[in-house]
Chains A and B, each alone.
Chain A
């Protein structure tokens, strides 16, 4: 603590879980946008990760409310938010937006994986049962039904983009609409959240796809990852510019709150915000991705660059969430001082629980993949020793 802080401000009330929650919904929104790049915008080179991205969006979505439940003082009353919503509250929409989006992604997944599930349903064992239940025991598939499926998928992919923006923009709005908090209260907040969500979504897909390909010795689809890399670069430029602009505009206006915010940035958040979020984890990936987009490196080099940049951007977005959520609460509403916060490891809302919540979706993705393949056959081709040194033929545009 430093300076004068109101007496009830000695405890930071939104901690690790509330950092994790927007992080996870961001991954959902971003991964969904990637899947729509293929299903809706016809970026065919993204096909190898199109289903994977939707699967990732789905499993992360399943776990998005978990940090909130862990955080609530009375999780058993969580449904009050849907039973007795107070519509003047920005938070009241959560239940509805979330449920609607979960349904949408679930239905889209169902249509996309229908053929695979039909194949499963013809097989044997446990998965046969699961597939039959999921398909309601309807195993018909004709040319006409496929055409219908594709139309529905396109429609859902289209509808999903505004929904993804809504889901995540809304999270930004939760913070941006708190006029009591000078660090949060800006109309730019929800735009920043949307773009950083897309960045984290693309980054997690590149990171995870390359990791899986590595482990399974699949050949990484160069056209796909290079294209994703360019999207990542573009979206990160927008996201980081907005983040910078936001602070610059408050600073330039020199309004009452700037005095305390300047101290927040220079003092309290200097390391996590200026050094880490901007100088290390934004600037370095920006340069790496820029180099990779402008020059043609060997595949191995390009992949390494992409992978490192993706990991760094995943950290960048996490840092951004941290600096927003925690940073905002460090400033006393008296504008005269700061409270302090150090996350605990083994407490209910501590780091250990956060790590567990964050890793379960990855495990679930693996189970998902055991059920129906998350990658198309061409993405799962093994690398042959002869192929390794040769430049990729796939990337010709």
Chain B
């Protein structure tokens, strides 16, 4: 044993094990919760007060050029495992018969397959739609998580506690936007964190930072002078699958009916 036996954290762990194995699972859990003081303290120390923030995201679909920089940046920033996506860009092509052809920029390079398109001659319109976790106000993923590992922070971000998640994938089933996956290395639920480690120290999310056309925006809904609020007040926007009542906080400017 490297630690002296009277180290309080050791004793506490020991006590917790005793209480739990005695069958008091539930009550021990309540105690443990009380002791931790609810959700984890926001990173960034005292400088960041999460009561002053309510984060939201916006995507201007008219501006996206489908370059995939955001996808590459996200993969690098968050070590997203190969084959899975915390954010992605969809390409829509509406042909002469009003039929939509949809595909996605895939892989590490996040590039589109040029040959997958219908011939340009019959194309009515085409556009790109970036997708990510909507950090829903009424997030089903945290509703269904049996252990409370998926949760909403006070500043409006939906996160997964990797240390607590049991990897049941119920949240993956429940998210209507398919933004979640089970991380193949950690065996826990994984998804966009809004770059929480960045926004809480005043940096933009990686995808917002690298987007060359400002198609991706983020902001603080509690700040009246915030630029994002000004845009949302001026422009018309839409939400993804609003009928499901999840109340996304990712606002889409110029969204087409074809997009789900």
Contact = CB atoms under 8 A, between A and B. Distances in A.
Is chain B found bound to chain A in the same assembly?
yes
A91 B170 contact: yes
A80 B167 contact: no
Interface majority SS (helix, strand, loop, mixed), chain A: loop
A80 B166 contact: yes
A174 B260 CA distance: 24
A68 B170 CA distance: 12
B210 interface: no
B175 A86 contact: no
Contacts of A333: 176-178, 260
A335 B147 CA distance: 30
Contacts of A77: 147, 164-167
Given A71-B168, A73-B182, A89 B143 contact: yes
B178 to A, nearest CB: 4
A85 B146 contact: yes
A178 B260 contact: no
B133 to A, nearest CB: 11
Contacts of A89: 143-146, 170
A84 B147 contact: yes
B25 A82 contact: yes
A16 B84 CA distance: 22
Contacts of B176: 179-180, 333
A336 B148 CA distance: 32
A137 interface: no
B174 A178 contact: yes
Interface in B147-189: 147-149, 164-170, 172-182, 186-188
Contacts of B178: 6-9, 332-334
Interface residues of A, number: 43
Interface in B96-135: 100, 102-104, 106, 131
Nearest to B103: A4
A188 interface: no
B199 interface: no
Interface size class of B (residues with CB under 8 A): 35 or more
B16 to A, nearest CB: 10
Interface string A45-84: 0000000000000000000000010011111011111111
B143 to A, nearest CB: 5
Interface stretch (B6-14, B28-36, B212-220, B226-234): B28-36
A83 B27 CA distance: 7
A235 interface: no
B1 interface: no
Given A84-B164, A91-B144, A4 B102 contact: yes
Most chain B CB within 10 A, of A13, A68, A92, is at A13
Interface of B: 20, 25-26, 28-29, 32-33, 83-85, 88, 100, 102-104, 106, 131, 140, 142-149, 164-170, 172-182, 186-188, 244, 260
5 contacts: A78-B166, A83-B28, A84-B148, A179-B174, A179-B176
Given A73-B165, A73-B166, 4 more contacts: A8-B181, A73-B169, A82-B26, A88-B142
